[in-house]
Amino acid sequence: MMRTGSLVFALILLSGCVADPPVADGAEVQVIASQTRCGLTAPGLVLARNAAEWQALIGSVDGQLPDWPDVANQWLLVASLGHQATGGHGIGFISADRDGQDLSIEVKVTHPAPDAMVAQMITSPCLVMAIPASGWKQVRVNGEAPFPMTRPHP
């Protein structure tokens, strides 16, 4: 019985270690949300540096974006696929790393199979991530089209 409890405890500790992949140099990229209806009409990268900018973005789109998280020294980056004519499209986080002064984020873009039955509705998939506010000059999001995209540090 003692062995089983130790094994369960060890598995819980290990599972917590892989939840949020770290970026080199101690900074982290944290996934806040992966949404199917963000309201951003075009593919792109949107950066919000504070709660006021985030509220302005939420007020300008007809979508569902999460609340501003209370995370110190972090900004929110939204990677958007823009409007899609059907359901079944999405974007997910794979990894993040630093390459010199570039913050590099790898994403997985998914689309429905050509023969899949999908809902005929406008979607606007996006990935919302908390990124370090400093320590980089450019963020680059890599993945299948419409990526790669870059955004300079303001």
User: What is the side-by-side order of every strand in the sheet holding 43-48?
Assistant: 30-35, 126-132, 74-81, 43-48
Pair 73, 132: CB distance under 8 Å: yes
Give residues with Cβ within 8 angstroms of 24, minimum separation 6: 97, 98
The distance in angstroms from the start CA to the end CA of the chain is: 56
Task: Give the model confidence (pLDDT) of 32-41 as tens digits.
Answer: 999 999 999 9
Domain ranges of the chain: 21-152
Task: Give the model confidence (pLDDT) of 96-119 as tens digits.
Answer: 999 889 999 999 999 998 888 988
Name the 3-class secondary structure at 29. Answer: coil
Residue 70 structure tokens: 């209370």
Phi, psi for residue 152 in degrees, rounded to 5: -75, 155
pLDDT at 14: 32
Q: Which amino acid is at 127?
A: L
| CA Rg value for the chain | 18
- pTM for this predicted structure: 0.80
